[in-house]
Structure 1
């Protein structure tokens, strides 16, 4: 069997590719950056695709010799591309699958992408699901199945990262009233279900909700994650809905307006259709988590996640202050006296003062805009400043306020921000 996995670099896609390879299945992984994808899913062929641009004809050559296609592509933050990636791009893929003679298509959709869909995320997924089902309603020429998972938990997933971070805080946050309901399924069970559907010897044409065996509140989910991390229970603190909404509007947290709306909805379903179609009985969340015990690295990641944006803001504040303070608050005489110690006077001093301030502001704004390598650029500039000052004003090393020594702490902060942004990809 030759399986083409779209969105292979994503959370579900990576786990699926790994499991398929372990089962001896021939896999081709598709994504926008094949070179980077090859690093994420080692040992399989990779090809380039772009659901925002590709049409059916683009897919036909890629589908030669492919027996089954699994579409795992999905966005959670970039609402502006939902209509192209989830809907238009997926429809072009499905059209090509039917025309190219692909035997089976598995579409990984989302719980809530049904007649009651209200968010742009769910509506875009539902439109693609409807198109796939409408191509061959009875699956006479091409088997198809739409899987609609609830919260998918597992290492590398955004839901796990979010609730792991909440669980690791000194006080456990209660989202809203704490009674929003979800029915999480572990990624291992989702992948096992997909694998069974790919190997199924009977035709299938169905939409299946993919949920765990039991609904639970967001409070219970957070508590399960805290137990998995091996942390003792702590007091809770309520985060009212209006506060969560304000955070999503400001874009300063991992939760978006779309994901908050989906979280508020009743994310539950029936597990029986999945069991009937695959014979797989999903594990409860605590049992599924226990299969892969938490490590020190898991606890560290959970504790660092809430700090990542804070570290970036703090570093940006340092650079913005470096640009604003000399121009707006420090007396001109003080600035020029300091620059004179570095051998700069007159026009040269003014040029250096303005250029340095503008450069500091640019780095600060780049950090706030989350531009890649902004922290790395700041490190280079700071080392340059330090070298010049150390050479021209070595006495500052002994300054009681640590004018130069404090740069070591800023260096550490900048390195941390750079590493965190690199891990985010």
Structure 2
């Protein structure tokens, strides 16, 4: 069987592609950067696609010889892209599948997706779901299934990273009344559901809510992750809903306004229809997590997650201060005296002062804007500063306030921030 996976570079897509390759299926991964997909998922071929722009005709050649299509593509938090990536883009893909005779289509949607949903995310997902269902209502010619998963848990998932980070805090936050129940399913069980549906006989025309067996509060979910990480019980502190709402409005944390609305609405569904349609009974979350025990790397990643933005902020402040203080707070006489010590006077000194200060400010701003490579640029500039001062004013090594030796700490912080950049090319 030849399966085309759209959005194969995402969390669900990567796990799904890996399982299908292991089962001996021929997999083509589709995404914006094919070379990246081939690096991420060994054993697949890759092609370029862009759901925000590709027409029905653009898909025709790509679908030649394809037996099944799985659409895992999705955005969260970028409402401007929802109409294209979630609705019109998948609709064009599904129309092309129908016209070229693809045997079956699996659409990975979201629990709660329907036309009257409160969130734009769910409404846009529902638009593609409804379009697919209308193409062949009986599923006799082109079998189709819309999967609506609840919270999907597993290594590499953002939800898992978030709840593991919350669980690893010395004092665990209790979201309490901030939201309703969730019904998490492990990624391995979701992949098993898809695998079975790829081999299910036609006709196939299903909308399935994909959930785990246990509805739970977010507090219980955090506690589950804490046990998985091997951590003892910790004190909990209730986070008021108004605090979470303020954080969401400011965009200062991982919780968005849309995410808050989804959390408040709850995210549960009956399990029986999924079991009846697929024969797959997802494991309780605690058991599912136990299949892949947490190691030191998992605990380290969970504890680092909330620290990374703080490290970046502190490093940015160092660079901004290094640029602003000489221009605004330091007297011209003091600046001139310092520059004279390294052999710069007159216009060259003024040019060096402004060039260095603006470079420092630029790196600080780039760090705040999370520009990739900003910390690495800072390492280079700090190394240049250190070499110049070490060669021209070596007595600074003995400065009682550590004027030069402190550069080593900044270099170490810069290296840590650069290393913790998780985006892959």
Give the TM-score, by structure 1 length. Answer: 0.98
Change (3 A) 1:72 1:251: same
The Cα offsets for residues 114-154 of structure 1, whole Å up to 9 and x where unpaired, read as: 24411111111011111111111111321110000000000
Output the CA distance in 2 between the equivalents of 1:84 and 1:423. Answer: 24
Aligned with 2:317: secondary structure? helix
Change (3 A) 1:424 1:406: farther
Aligned with 1:181: secondary structure? coil
Equivalent runs, 1:8-407 vs 2, <5 Å: 8-177=8-177, 180-407=180-407
The Cα offsets for residues 75-116 of structure 1, whole Å up to 9 and x where unpaired, read as: 113222111111111111111110110000000000010244
Residue pair 1:179, 1:219 contacting (<8 A) in 2 also: no
Could you say what the CA RMSD is over the residues aligned between the two structures, in angstroms? 1.2
Residue pair 2:139, 2:202 contacting (<8 A) in 1 also: no
Residue pair 1:178, 1:218 contacting (<8 A) in 2 also: no
Output the CA distance in 2 between the equivalents of 1:5 and 1:419. Answer: 31
Output the CA distance in 1 between the equivalents of 2:278 and 2:298. Answer: 31
Output the CA distance in 1 between the equivalents of 2:148 and 2:339. Answer: 64
Aligned with 2:230: secondary structure? coil
Aligned with 2:237: secondary structure? strand
Gaps of 5+ in 1: none
Gaps of 5+ in 2: none
Deviation at 1:424, TM superposition (A): 6.5
Aligned with 1:69: secondary structure? strand
Output the CA distance in 1 between the equivalents of 2:297 and 2:258. Answer: 30
Output the CA distance in 2 between the equivalents of 1:83 and 1:391. Answer: 59
Shifted more, 351-360 versus 152-161: the winner is: 351-360
Deviating runs (4+, > 3 A) in structure 1? 422-425
Change (3 A) 1:236 1:116: farther
Residue pair 1:373, 1:418 contacting (<8 A) in 2 also: yes
Output the CA distance in 1 between the equivalents of 2:417 and 2:76. Answer: 23
Output the CA distance in 2 between the equivalents of 1:200 and 1:13. Answer: 20
Output the CA distance in 2 between the equivalents of 1:48 and 1:76. Answer: 21
The Cα offsets for residues 373-402 of structure 1, whole Å up to 9 and x where unpaired, read as: 111111111111111111111111111111
Give the TM-score, by structure 2 length. Answer: 0.98
Deviation at 1:422, TM superposition (A): 3.7
Residue pair 1:183, 1:212 contacting (<8 A) in 2 also: yes
The Cα offsets for residues 250-299 of structure 1, whole Å up to 9 and x where unpaired, read as: 22322222222212211000111111111000000001011110010000
Shifted more, 249-258 versus 45-54: the winner is: 249-258
Shifted more, 3-12 versus 242-251: the winner is: 242-251
The Cα offsets for residues 11-62 of structure 1, whole Å up to 9 and x where unpaired, read as: 0000000100111111001110011111111111011111111111111100
Output the CA distance in 2 between the equivalents of 1:250 and 1:342. Answer: 45
The Cα offsets for residues 153-197 of structure 1, whole Å up to 9 and x where unpaired, read as: 000001100000000000001125266310000000000000000
Output the CA distance in 1 between the equivalents of 2:398 and 2:88. Answer: 64
Deviation at 1:331, TM superposition (A): 1.7
Aligned with 2:148: secondary structure? strand
Output the CA distance in 2 between the equivalents of 1:60 and 1:53. Answer: 14
Residue pair 1:6, 1:72 contacting (<8 A) in 2 also: yes
Residue pair 1:178, 1:217 contacting (<8 A) in 2 also: no
Output the CA distance in 1 between the equivalents of 2:64 and 2:51. Answer: 18
